[in-house]
Structure 1
Amino acid sequence: MAEQPSDPGLPHPDEVARVMADIAAKSRSLVEDFLQQQGAQNPEQTPVSSAIGSAFIELTTRMMRNPAQLMQAQFALWQDYMRLWQGTTQRLLGQESEPVIKPERADRRFKDKAWDDNVLFDFIKQSYLLSSRFVMEQVTAAGDEEGADVRTQRKVEFYTRQFVDAMAPTNFVMTNPEVLRLTVETKGENLLKGLRNMLEDLERGKGTLKVRMTDEESFEIGRNIATTPGSIVFQNDLLQLIQYKPTTATVHQRPLLIIPPWINKFYVLDLQAKNSFVRFCVEQGLTTFVISWVNPDEKLAHKSFEDYMTGGALAAVDAVLKATGQKDLMAIGYCLGGTLLATTLAYMAAKRDARIKAATFFASLVDFQEPGDLGVFIDEEQLKALEEQMQKRGFLEGSEMARTFNLLRANDLIWSFVVSNYLMGKDPFPFDLLYWNSDSTRLPAAMHSFYLRRCYHENKLVEAGGVTLGGVKIDLRRINLPAYWVSTREDHIAPWKSTYAATQLYKGEKRFVLAGSGHIAGVINPPTSEKYGYWTNEDLPADPQAWLEGATAHPGSWWPDWAGWAKARAGKQVPAREPGQGSLPAIEPAPGSFVKVRAA
């Protein structure tokens, strides 16, 4: 066969070889300098890593019990490869050939035209897709055996997916056409710059690779992020309470308290003016308060989930009502903040305390039977290891929690940045949401152990009396008030079908809304963006899939739908309330000092 002409869009192999040799020489000295400066550092082993081996051993054992099925699958893979070889040969001879396999539409890794136009890279792409599909199908098939442990199966599937994603050809210089092209164009400067980026990230992470996702120098809390005007009007050792300045002459009588999660910081709800949910609430004529949680250290290791209820949610309710002179309020809980709000409402119901008149839950779980991919990290072995680690320091380090969440969307939140920062040699661009995502928080050991064990591992919160807080047996079925849920269709942290379970528990008027996108983007979706859409259904059948099948789709943001619901329950109009002019004086300007404490 005659030698095929080289692809005009890709460099000649001889030139690639020369450039790579030059890079190797330059990079060696760079690494040597880094090691001399840093010394030897061994990253701490995470509890997760010790729990994977036994799960894979069990999987392999199950696969070997059915060798015929494995052989049949291998034969099918061999047939697919034969079709791929045949198609590749046809293309080399100048003929057309349909691909054996294509990437999923949402897979952005293979967007460069060379993955389709260049025969070699098309072959690499399809080989990877066929192999990864084969591996994942065998893992799934092994888990379908009778008697297979569901938790073990999910763990194996999750980590197999991590391995498959890590081995993608897009993650390597010589099998990524875009990187290869840039490497020759810049004579390897992209890889040298990428190596510097990686060494800087290692230094920032003190030996652990801490991938930069955004230009952190472009943002400053209180200057161009978390800028909605307001004041701190109350604080204790767990929180600062922000009251926001009104923008309307009158406001609704009933104030609004927002309880964000303390796994991350509150300002995801107040990023910039264009996408601030807090600012949106203020513009609706709602006197808006938000909890800014403390970023705890070892001195708060003893703080429990009960403390977050009494010294957190309930203390904030007291302060809001004192600041406004009102007898009742409305509340929103987001993620873990929603779990806390539900727990607090059940506690208040037992105490005959009806000061919260309407509640909204953003992507919040109370029934943890199906917690999604996060359940992979929670079993007895991993919990014991994590608790031992937390006891040494008194808290869970924020970066460890961040790595766990990033693994849930590894291609988007890990590998895309590895390619961009280290292979392409690019600097991350400014992105407010990713800045917030990198601003991690610590979690007190006592609180986090309770949350993981009693909620995720044992699913006790959904049981009547399964959890006791403040001397009260918590029963979510005692909650009786108007409730609004918004969950997101692609949520990896709080799967919407699991959040839907709460609609079958509470009494009172209920409205469930399903938004497009995921845990953050689906919630932080202002009307001006005109993205994603949402679904509503006035009926609330027990089966969430039945709810979806009967739901009506709407374009754009769900925010106006919620605003109409909230304002109908917020009472009459009264003169606007300025922060600090009520019974609680202003302590300092928003966003306060607690939010500026970084875990690092």
Structure 2
Amino acid sequence: MDKPITAPAGAERMASPWLGTLHREYPFYHEPYNQAPSANLDRILKSWIGKLTANVSPMSIWMAYVDWLLHVQYSPSKQQELLTDAVRKIMRLSEYELEVAQDDPNAEITSVTPLPQDKRFADPAWRRWPFNVISQGFLMTQQWWHRATTDVSGMSLHHEEVINFIVRQILDMYSPSNFLLTNPVVLNETLHTGGKNLLAGMQNAAKDWEHAINDTHPQDRTEFKVGKNLAITPGKVVYRNRLIELIRYEPTTETVHEMPVLFVPAWIMKYYILDLSPKNSLVKYLVDQGYTVFMISWKNPQASDRDLSLEDYRRLGVMDALRVTIEETGAPHVNAVGYCLGGTLLSIAAACMARHNDRRLASMTLFAAQVDFKDPGELSLFIDESQITLLEAIMWDQGYLDTKQMAGAFQLLRSNDLIWSRRLNQYLLGRAEPYNDLMAWNVDATRMPFRMHSEYLRKLFLDNELAEGSYCIEDQPVALTDIRVPIFSVGTLADHVAPWRSTFKIHLLTDTEVTYLLTTGGHNAGVVSPPGHPRRSYQVATSQHHDPYVDPDIWQSRTQRHDGSWWPEWERWLRKQSGKRIEPPPFGQVLYNAPGKYVLQP
């Protein structure tokens, strides 16, 4: 049985006049977990610093800069290499200028080609003088700085990645595509419309500023609304506690599979990523295939929820939902599905259940979910001791990590797509931002409670306890190798949150049958891939627990590619884990209709 959760040692408030003053200034003051009372002065200062630095630790940036600067200064060979490269690029650009001035067709041979994902200079207008010279100069500068910030002898890998990332952000900010006078596409549009594009851009900027000032919900700007055309698959809320509502969806077939499906979505975003508009709803797709589907809808935490822990999320989230799902259906087993952080939490719960010989799971599916955080992609740029300490100070002050504070980090990871191209289209070209159901969901973020997020960052991201077998529940470590149910794991090729090679490590960390599927798309768009979606493909292969390990790149080169959506492939696998067809079990307790109340919390 799960033990009640108690606050860690040192978490009690201490009575003193000084602390009374502190409580008046910071009404949500608690003793920091496992820290002395004197550390709160540090947290107050760091919280103030975070407000001035967009929640980025200046100490972390400074240490990376000093590491890079000192090692470059004491690397004469690197200096010589950079000087030689600079001279070579200046000469190459001069040669290119002469060639394009003479309209030489061979000029394209000496030009620098942007990376495949860089679409800033794809328009033919960039091939005209002087814009071709401007764009080439920028690309050469970009190449030089990449060389200057990588392969510096003696520099730590983390600091190298941080400095390289910062330089890329600065260069992206000053890209010629971002300015009226150096962007031929914008100039052409301005001449063609008589400047109407700039007027429309000013109106778009004014609307964005108005929403920012009034702090209105982002979905207020769109026609997409939860309960109206999002999250409208019919269902009932059958259970509610202080952390979750559990939704059970109504059947649409005469018979259903015996084993129900329980979704554990990430709590960083709202659950209806899996129940968007009907044509993009994975929930509706499964219900129409004859599955009894349950969905966890997480509460959007407030400051009063600051003490919710990662263990609370396991116990009040996964375990309570699993219990109610079985009570509602009478099924002996459940097919559990975890998405992103929800998949990580589900893996922890499954390992704990295996340790206690709890056999209520029939299978486990992971969508873009990591269980090993050694290589978490560019998110690791924001994860070190200094940065986590700053975030803890901010959360200690507020009681949670705000949605805007998280969104900024994710936008920086894809700044060209999510920041600069958006400003180009909206503010310079004057085009209205196209919205779809996935984009509407993407801006509907949630907060993260102080204690849980601190534990998640430290135990999983920083210390990688789950992969290393030191993550404890009830003072005992849990091991993923104890899991014996079949696993279906989905990775996405362009995932910047959970890189697919990181999710592929599920093969190394479990001792059971693993079916791994790699699909095109990103962290969200790759998962929302209904049948009929254009330009989709996937690879899939199953390995038994006794099969030899295959490297992810070798696996990718050897595994057959299939065109189309991966949903039917997963459904065929799920069908094998779901038992016979039966009449739909009757509903038990019904609280209110889906989508419930937690999902509507701002």
Seen in structure 2, the aligned counterparts of structure 1 residues 300 and 125 have a Cα distance that, compared at 3 Å, is same
- Find 1:81's aligned residue among 85, 90, 102: 90
1:211, 1:414 within 8 Å by CA — same for their partners in 2? Answer: no
- Find 1:497's aligned residue among 488, 494, 501: 501
2:507, 2:549 within 8 Å by CA — same for their partners in 1? Answer: no
**2: distance between equivalents of 1:219 and 1:283?**
23
**2: distance between equivalents of 1:388 and 1:77?**
43
* Structure 2 runs not aligned, ≥5 long: 1-49
* Within-5 A mapping of 1:409-448: 409-448=414-453
Map of 2:139 onto structure 1: 129
**1: distance between equivalents of 2:65 and 2:201?**
34
Does 2:436 match 1:453?
no
Taking structure 1 as the reference length, the TM-score comes to 0.87
Amino acid at match of 1:135: W
Amino acid at match of 1:114: A
Does 2:100 match 1:95?
no
- Find 1:105's aligned residue among 113, 116, 139: 116
Map of 1:478 onto structure 2: 482
**2: distance between equivalents of 1:215 and 1:592?**
19
Map of 1:596 onto structure 2: 600
**1: distance between equivalents of 2:217 and 2:295?**
30
Seen in structure 2, the aligned counterparts of structure 1 residues 196 and 45 have a Cα distance that, compared at 3 Å, is farther
Map of 1:565 onto structure 2: 573
Map of 2:10 onto structure 1: none
Please state how far the C-alpha of 1:564 moved relative to its aligned partner: 0.5
1:215, 1:429 within 8 Å by CA — same for their partners in 2? Answer: no
2:265, 2:341 within 8 Å by CA — same for their partners in 1? Answer: yes
- Find 1:159's aligned residue among 156, 159, 166: 166
2:99, 2:107 within 8 Å by CA — same for their partners in 1? Answer: no
Amino acid at match of 2:505: A
Amino acid at match of 1:594: Y
**2: distance between equivalents of 1:225 and 1:65?**
58
SS of the equivalent of 2:336 reads strand
**1: distance between equivalents of 2:196 and 2:522?**
36
Amino acid at match of 2:462: H
- Find 1:293's aligned residue among 284, 295, 298: 298
* Structure 1 runs not aligned, ≥5 long: 1-41
Does 2:523 match 1:551?
no
Map of 1:361 onto structure 2: 366
- Find 1:45's aligned residue among 44, 53, 58: 53
1:139-195 Cα deviation digits (max 9, x unpaired)? 1122xx1x4212111211222221222221111111111112223444444334433
- Find 1:148's aligned residue among 155, 170, 174: 155
Does 2:524 match 1:513?
no
Please state how far the C-alpha of 1:111 moved relative to its aligned partner: 2.6
**2: distance between equivalents of 1:190 and 1:57?**
44
**Percent of counterpart pairs with the same letter?**
37
SS of the equivalent of 1:274 reads helix
Map of 1:340 onto structure 2: 345
1:259, 1:337 within 8 Å by CA — same for their partners in 2? Answer: yes
SS of the equivalent of 2:308 reads coil
SS of the equivalent of 2:248 reads strand
**2: distance between equivalents of 1:470 and 1:220?**
41
Please state how far the C-alpha of 1:103 moved relative to its aligned partner: 1.8
* Within-5 A mapping of 1:35-74: 44-50=52-58, 51-74=60-83
**1: distance between equivalents of 2:72 and 2:125?**
37
Q: How large is the Cα RMSD of the aligned pairs?
A: 2.1
Does 2:180 match 1:173?
yes
**2: distance between equivalents of 1:475 and 1:246?**
36
* Within-5 A mapping of 1:155-554: 155-206=162-213, 216-464=221-469, 466-539=470-543, 541-554=549-562
SS of the equivalent of 2:466 reads coil
2:363, 2:486 within 8 Å by CA — same for their partners in 1? Answer: yes
SS of the equivalent of 1:360 reads strand
Which shows bigger deviation, 475-484 or 386-395? 475-484
**2: distance between equivalents of 1:43 and 1:519?**
29
2:513, 2:542 within 8 Å by CA — same for their partners in 1? Answer: no
SS of the equivalent of 1:141 reads coil
SS of the equivalent of 1:224 reads coil
Map of 2:33 onto structure 1: none
Amino acid at match of 2:67: E
Amino acid at match of 1:77: A
- Find 1:139's aligned residue among 127, 141, 149: 149
SS of the equivalent of 2:468 reads coil
Map of 1:17 onto structure 2: none
Map of 2:3 onto structure 1: none
Does 2:120 match 1:115?
no
Seen in structure 2, the aligned counterparts of structure 1 residues 376 and 185 have a Cα distance that, compared at 3 Å, is same
Amino acid at match of 2:496: H
2:55, 2:405 within 8 Å by CA — same for their partners in 1? Answer: no
2:222, 2:440 within 8 Å by CA — same for their partners in 1? Answer: no
Map of 1:4 onto structure 2: none
Seen in structure 2, the aligned counterparts of structure 1 residues 49 and 196 have a Cα distance that, compared at 3 Å, is farther
1:215, 1:428 within 8 Å by CA — same for their partners in 2? Answer: no
Amino acid at match of 1:496: W
Map of 1:26 onto structure 2: none
**1: distance between equivalents of 2:449 and 2:270?**
15
Taking structure 2 as the reference length, the TM-score comes to 0.87
Amino acid at match of 2:381: V
**2: distance between equivalents of 1:91 and 1:480?**
64
